[in-house]
């Protein structure tokens, strides 16, 4: 698998990975209504462009197919971490998370934090993240439960 920075031409595949991941990997944890609100059939492409423009995004790809992606901000916020279901449980998310943590640590960020879904909570806990609090957020007219989590960077420990 190859790792590289996000390019605007990746947008369509990124949106597809996001939707496929939510509708497949998160399906056991959320209702059909919640999944549809979180990853709608017709996503707002302009909103995606704007959001990704303000983030550092890393792509993991295999033979030109995006297997997963991670996006973060230099304040330590890990915004997106999604794997295409065909590449789930093959180390893609782990490699992406390590890469984000290393990049933030090199930028002297002492704390990485994220807002994890019910399915992602277990992944982040295995990586040493701690739950700060649970919250309900409104998304497309429905409530979704998630967890704010954090991890101190290796440099500060």
Q: Taking Cα atoms as reference points, which of 31, 126, 109, 21 lies closest to residue 66?
A: 21
Q: What is the pLDDT of residue 142?
A: 93
Size (the chain), residues? 157
pLDDT digits (tens, 9 = 90+) for 108-154: 898 999 999 999 999 999 999 999 999 999 998 999 999 999 998 76
pLDDT digits (tens, 9 = 90+) for 53-63: 999 999 999 99
Q: What is the pLDDT of residue 154?
A: 65
Span between the terminal Cα atoms of the chain, in Å: 31
Q: What is the pLDDT of residue 111?
A: 94
CA dist 123 and 120 (Å) reads 5
Q: Predicted confidence band at 19 (pLDDT cuts at 50, 70, 90)?
A: very high
Q: Predicted confidence band at 157 (pLDDT cuts at 50, 70, 90)?
A: very low
Predicted model pTM: 0.92
> Is the pLDDT reported for residue 46 higher than 70?
yes
CATH fold of 2-156 reads: Aminopeptidase (3.40.630)
> Is the pLDDT reported for residue 155 higher than 70?
no
Q: What is the pLDDT of residue 15?
A: 96
SS3 state at 132: strand
The alpha-helical segments, DSSP class H, found in 2-145 are: 11-25, 32-38, 45-53, 92-106, 118-126
Q: Predicted confidence band at 156 (pLDDT cuts at 50, 70, 90)?
A: very low
Q: Taking Cα atoms as reference points, which of 157, 151, 9 lies closest to residue 81?
A: 151
- Residue extents of the structural domains in the chain: 2-156
pLDDT digits (tens, 9 = 90+) for 61-104: 999 999 999 999 999 999 999 999 999 999 999 999 999 999 89
Question: Alpha carbon of 19 to those of 12, 110, 129, 152: distances in Å?
Answer: 11, 31, 25, 30
Q: What is the pLDDT of residue 101?
A: 93
């Amino acid at each position: 698998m190859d790792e590289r920075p996000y390019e605007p031409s990746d947008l369509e595949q990124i949106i597809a990975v996001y939707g496929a991941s939510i509708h497949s990997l998160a399906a056991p944890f959320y209702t059909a209504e919640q999944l549809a609100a979180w990853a709608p059939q017709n996503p707002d492409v302009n909103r995606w462009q704007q959001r990704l423009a303000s983030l550092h995004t890393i792509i993991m790809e295999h033979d030109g197919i995006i297997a997963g992606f991670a996006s973060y901000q230099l304040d330590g916020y890990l915004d997106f971490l999604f794997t295409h279901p065909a590449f789930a449980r093959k180390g893609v998310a782990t490699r992406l998370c390590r890469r984000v943590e290393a990049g933030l640590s090199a930028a002297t960020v002492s704390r990485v934090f994220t807002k994890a879904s019910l399915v992602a909570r277990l992944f982040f806990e295995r990586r040493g993240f701690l739950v700060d609090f649970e919250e309900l957020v409104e998304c497309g007219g429905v409530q979704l439960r998630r967890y704010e989590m954090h991890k101190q960077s290796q440099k500060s420990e």
